Structure 1
Amino acid sequence: MSNGVVSSNPDPISTDSLKVFIGYDPKEDLAYEVCNYSLSKRASIPIQVSAIKQGELRQKGVYWRERGKLESTEFSFSRFLTPYLADYKGWAMFVDCDFLYLDDIKKLADLVDDKYAVMCVQHDYTPKETTKMDGAVQTVYPRKNWSSMVLYNCGHPKNRVLTPEVVNKETGAFLHRFQWLDDDEIGEIPFVWNFLVGHNRVVDGDESTFPKAIHYTLGGPWFEQYKDCEFGDLWLSELDEYRKDSLKKAES
């Protein structure tokens, strides 16, 4: 669902619209719905939201790699098909489903710079936990969580490397560390657009540190063991609003 206007224009941001691809995993269906709802209802620009569903990609013959033991979600690698799914045109965003948006996505879209191939929050993040979500193994690697929310300049020549063949065969290191790019082709976004629960902190009196998009990277309130996590109350409030809004639409 989307409160934003859906646009089919292939060059999104240049016409004040944006293609958004959200990673989908059946075990986090509610997380996906709330992420979509929170993003869409606050959007003041036209957006086109699509779920990246592994099953559908397999049926279309564009995703066929076997799932590895360390893949905590179904979109661990399929996320890198974003430029391909956007037909290598314009700008598009990929985001994990375990996000809660608290601000207008237009403010993020306004940050794009065509000189970059991708733009993301460049976390310096080494988790202390050995597990996340519902028992998934917590892996540690350079540039961890950079790929969890990415603005792709889909028309950039370097991103044409991300074909289905490459996404299906390349290593996690190559993909998650953006090794198809030079460092100066990776633009930086303020951390508040990928605010890691348990890692980033709000500084009292400093509004610039308050999250615009909360990332429940260790697990969110849709899992019983994380129902009392930091900022969990905001997610549960959004879930309640989403359900009420869905009920109203179903009854109308």
Structure 2
Amino acid sequence: MNQETVRVFVGADRSQALAVPVLAHSIRRHTAAHVEVIPMLDLPVPQPRDPRNRQRTGFSFSRFCIPALAGYQGKAIYLDADMLVFGDILELWHLPMGDARVLVQKEVKFNDQTTQKPGAPPKRMIQSAVMVLDCARLDWSIEKIVADMDAGLYNYEQLVYEMCILGTPDIGTVVPFEWNSLEHHDAATRLLHYTDMYTQPWAFSGHPLGHFWLEEVRQMLTDGSLAMADLAKEVELGFFRPSLLRDIRYRHKLPCMLHRALDACNRITDAASGFVAHKAVYQAKRERERLIAQHGERHH
């Protein structure tokens, strides 16, 4: 009997390229399904004319390329690279689509009016970092999407946070919070999302949930799916912090009471090396801010 292939498209920029196989390893370790993981690394998408509408990362618009990349056939899952999976990906794959064409995270319910679930977004927006897409029913073209943005039909926020290119019935808000746990982990967590780019475990020493990512890497080193030379190369290129190699080797051997001292030592090492987390994204942000200021001056 032919086994269905679960297609997972992962958005990433060059600084997170090696995070993709770590995510893929965590997915495959928790499922018996045949999983195809497709990295979308800095896809060549058109640049909106208005700098305010430009991508916030190298992959902000990648999710809208998935139907075309999938040949407008079958289903697909979208994930960001800065994630780890702790549950069977088939749970996501088999969520009922109903009449929807895209499934996103459902509204997070609180026990009362003042208590917010840890890691939940402070206000409702489309959480599109985890999506299930019916590619056969999505005619998205990134060229047309950007052209419509240039024509003033919508802006970046409306596209990414409201997914305005779909009607309300097309969006199913059914993905459980446990499948996009933002900076949060408990016994029910199925997917941990390191949403703060500047404190991700490969970029910052001391993330309270960073040990999960470090342990996944250690398992890859043990089973041979990753080599220390691969990590060292990312450090050499400035994408991973230099202290990561020390963390991989020694953190799990130290008592917890010494972890804070290790973090302090690691940060000194990283600062002395001149390491800047997500340097390219930071530089792009500064350039976008400069262009926005110029754009505003021209319209005064």
- The answer, yes or no, to whether TM exceeds 0.5 is yes
Partner of 1:83: 67
Call closer, same or farther: CA 1:167–1:245 in 2, change over 3 Å: farther
Partner letter of residue 23 of structure 1? G
Point out where structure 2 has 5 or more consecutive residues left out of the alignment. Answer: 109-121, 150-154, 228-300
Alignment of 1:103-252 (within 5 A): 103-122=87-106, 143=125, 146-156=127-137, 159-160=138-139, 162-169=140-147, 170=149, 171-176=155-160, 177-187=162-172, 188-197=174-183, 202=186, 210-219=188-197, 220-224=200-204, 227-246=205-224
CA deviations over 1:28-64 (Å, ceiling 9, x no partner): 223222112111232321122111122xx43xxxx23
Q: How has the CA–CA distance of structure 1 residues 242 and 167 changed in structure 2, closer, same or farther, with 3 Å as cutoff?
A: farther
Change in Cα spacing, 1:232 to 1:53, as seen in structure 2 (3 Å) is same
Q: For the residues of structure 1 that align with 2:195 and 2:27, how far apart are their CA atoms?
A: 17
Query: Retained in 2: the 8 A contact 1:77–1:167?
Result: no
Q: Which has the higher mean CA deviation after the structures are superposed, 179-188 or 83-92? A: 179-188
Gap runs ≥5 in structure 1: 1-6, 8-14, 125-139
Is 1:28 matched up with 2:28? no
Q: TM-score, normalised by structure 1?
A: 0.71
In the alignment, structure 1 residue 65 sits paired with structure 2 residue 47: yes
Deviation readout 1:108-142 (Å, 9 max, x if unpaired): 11213242110011356xxxxxxxxxxxxxxx996
Q: Distance in 2 between matches of 1:141 and 1:212?
A: 22
Deviation at 1:223, TM superposition (A): 0.8
State which of 18, 29, 44 in structure 1 corresponds to 2:6: 18
Cα distance in 2 for partners of 1:239, 1:167 equals 37
How many aligned residue pairs are there?
A: 203
Checking the alignment, whether the CA contact within 8 Å between 1:78 and 1:167 is kept in structure 2 is: no
Whole-angstrom CA distance in 1 between matches of 2:24 and 2:226: 18
Render the CA deviation track for 1:198-242: whole Å, top value 9, x for unaligned: xx574xxxx5xx210000001320112xx3223211111001112
- TM-score, scaled to structure 2: 0.60
Deviations 1:66-108 (A, max 9, x none): 6957744210112211111111111101110001001110121
Distance in 2 separating the partners of 1:113 and 1:234:
31
SS at match of 1:49: strand
Q: Which amino acid aligns with 2:15?
A: K
What secondary structure is seen at the aligned counterpart in 2 of 1:81?
helix
Q: 1:40, 1:201 → 2: CA distance?
A: 20
Q: Which runs of 4+ in 1 moved over 3 A?
A: 66-72
Residues 1:40 and 2:40 are matched in the alignment? no
SS of 2:18's equivalent in the other structure is: helix
1:128 maps to none
Change (3 A) 1:248 1:194: closer
Q: Residue by residue, what CA displacement relative to the aligned partner does 1:141-171 show, whole Å, maximum 9, x if unpaired?
A: 9615x11111111112xx21x1131233333
Structure 2 letter corresponding to 1:24: A
Q: Equivalent residue of 1:223, what SS?
A: coil
* Structure number with higher helix proportion: 2
